[in-house]
Structure 1
């Protein structure tokens, strides 16, 4: 199994919207990717919550049966279509993939 975790720190303002609005849109776009490719086991998106420690604004946690399944997700047209929005609103990105 491959775990794919990505975190984003968002710009204060981008694409004509504030950080909170862009965070909600980011979550909506990523949530819509749930189940788009075979071998995806889990896809969970969360936004930083007031009162809880967070150095990033959004996190994606996902699991795939294997590397081919992860690549199918990464190359899926729906996933590729959201990348320009994310690139425009993000200040920083961290990613880690690992096999268990």
Structure 2
């Protein structure tokens, strides 16, 4: 299995609304992309440091090839286009579990 984790620091404008849209749009991909085994999107807690990243994506795939299919899927690409428009920083890691 491949664990794919991404974190984003959002631009200040409409931060909470954009975080909710990212969650809704990404989690909806579970019903569209069969290679996506697990997905969860969560937010930094309001009481936590505001220096933390704002949104985290935790997802799993059976293989790196399945992750690549997900990454290139047209519906995922649409979500990524929105995310890029509201994000100031992104970090990610992919590892085998």
Q: Unpaired segments of 5 or more residues in structure 1? A: none
TM score, norm. by length of structure 2: 0.90
1:34-87 deviations in Å (ceiling 9; x for gaps): 143233221111112222457111000001000111111111111001112111
Listed as ranges, the matches of 1:61-100 within 5 Å are 61-100=58-97
Q: In 2, Cα distance between the equivalents of 1:32 and 1:93?
A: 21
Root-mean-square deviation over aligned CA pairs: 1.4
| 8 Å contact kept, 1:10–1:92 | yes
> Where does the alignment leave 5 or more consecutive residues of structure 2 unmatched?
none
Corresponding position of 1:46: 42
Distance 1:11 1:68 in 2: 32
Which structure carries more helix by proportion?
2
For this pair of structures, how many residues does the alignment match? 96
Q: In structure 1, what is the Cα distance between the partners aligned to 2:48 and 2:37?
A: 27
TM-score (norm 1): 0.87
